[in-house]
């Protein structure tokens, strides 16, 4: 009789205590894998993975991937890097090192182990795009010397390394470009629009809108993203990406602010501030490749996802976990 039992994999998740990484750890453990979560806790938080610490198939290692890592695993998910401007601009040199040296170290590990490796790339690859919506073969419009360049160009260089390792060494790579993602476990002081608006609304602070508020973003819920990530890892080795993953429904910042105010029952007013340098005016993915290659598209609508995210922040604020200081105070704590 043929034994069809599939042996669980030992999987490395870098940045595993972060917002997206912790949800990925949950998913991998739920399907029976062993998970080695690696994080230096620069922006990752222990409380994101505290519920996993008693799981015998979960291991936590504090480590910075700008330094080599010598472990034995079957697959690697590389998610390590601060992803919000307020965090990655605090130490831009370290951000670039994490993107580039981190990729080199993880690719070197994958090469040695002959392991499949996933790269969490970003829509910031496209910069302030001249093509809308963004398609994977668009090369982007990125300022190489601006305040966002450490992240934008760092991620672009990481993609270069992944594809060169694939061409030169036959490394099995999977690359997706993640568009705006939100959900429970977002850092309350990450400066991203969804977490900013929700925390401000729940605490009665003014809702800060940069520019006139007519710039657009598309918002993907974290559960949809995790489904896409794991689906990408299960594709044949010939499928390398990059693949856009995000929600193609576009909202202006004003629309999002008004929806958050409505759903929280807040009395917060809108406050307009100057638009940050190099902030993209439009951002929306073309997900035709994801639909074709992964059989994937988002299923969680914005109102549904916001409901769960608001409940998370409401609970965190009540428990005293989510600080509500302004951006400058957040940066001072990180420094």
Q: Going residue by residue through the chain (335 aa), what tens digit of pLDDT does each one get? A: 445 556 789 999 999 999 999 999 999 999 999 999 999 999 999 999 999 999 999 999 999 999 999 999 999 999 999 887 888 888 999 999 999 999 999 999 999 999 999 999 999 999 988 998 999 999 999 999 999 999 999 999 999 999 999 999 999 999 999 999 999 999 888 888 999 999 999 999 999 998 888 888 899 999 999 999 999 999 999 999 999 999 999 999 999 999 999 999 999 999 998 877 666 677 889 999 999 999 999 999 999 999 999 999 999 998 876 544 333 333 322 22
Please, which contacts does 30-37 make with residues 24 or more away whose CB atoms are closer than 8 Å?
A: 32/8, 32/57, 33/8, 33/9, 33/57, 34/8, 34/9, 34/10, 34/58, 34/59, 35/11, 35/59, 36/10, 36/11, 36/12, 36/61, 36/71, 36/73, 37/13, 37/61
Q: Does the annotation count 151 as an active-site position?
A: yes
**Other Cβ atoms within 10 Å of 35 Cβ, number:** 26
Is residue 195 within 8 Å of 313, Cβ to Cβ?
A: yes
User: Tell me: the pLDDT tens digits for 180-195?
Assistant: 999 999 988 888 899 9
Single out the catalytic residue among 151, 165, 182, 221: 151
Q: Which CATH architecture has domain 10-186+218-249+279-301?
A: 3-Layer(aba) Sandwich (3.40)
């Amino acid at each position: 009789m043929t034994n069809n039992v599939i042996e669980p994999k030992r999987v490395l998740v870098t940045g595993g205590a972060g917002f997206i990484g912790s949800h990925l750890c949950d998913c991998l453990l739920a399907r029976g894998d062993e998970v080695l979560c690696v994080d230096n806790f620069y922006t990752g938080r222990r409380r994101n993975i505290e519920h996993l610490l008693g799981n015998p198939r979960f291991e936590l290692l504090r480590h910075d991937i700008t330094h080599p890592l010598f472990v034995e695993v079957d697959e690697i998910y590389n998610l390590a890097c601060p992803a919000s401007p307020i965090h990655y601009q605090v130490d831009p040199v370290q951000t670039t090192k994490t993107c580039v040296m981190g990729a080199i170290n993880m690719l070197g590990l994958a090469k040695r182990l002959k392991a499949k490796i996933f790269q969490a790339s970003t829509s910031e690859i496209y910069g302030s795009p001249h093509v809308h919506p963004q398609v994977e073969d668009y090369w982007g419009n990125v300022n190489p010397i601006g305040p966002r360049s450490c992240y934008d160009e760092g991620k672009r260089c990481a993609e270069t390394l992944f594809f060169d390792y694939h061409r030169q060494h036959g490394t099995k790579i999977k690359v997706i470009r993640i568009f705006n993602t939100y959900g429970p476990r977002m850092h309350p002081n990450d400066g991203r629009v969804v977490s900013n608006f929700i925390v401000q609304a729940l605490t009665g602070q003014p809702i800060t809108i940069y520019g006139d508020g007519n710039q657009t973003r598309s918002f993907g819920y974290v559960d949809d993203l995790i489904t896409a990530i794991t689906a990408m890892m299960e594709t044949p080795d010939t499928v390398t990406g990059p693949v856009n993953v995000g929600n193609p429904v576009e909202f202006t910042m004003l629309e999002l602010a008004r929806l958050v105010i409505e759903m929280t029952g807040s009395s917060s007013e809108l406050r307009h501030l100057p638009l940050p340098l190099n902030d993209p005016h439009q951002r929306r993915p073309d997900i035709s490749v994801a639909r074709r290659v992964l059989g994937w598209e988002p299923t969680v609508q914005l109102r549904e996802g916001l409901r769960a995210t608001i409940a998370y922040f409401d609970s965190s604020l009540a428990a005293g976990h989510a600080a509500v200081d302004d951006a400058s105070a957040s940066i001072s704590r990180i420094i």
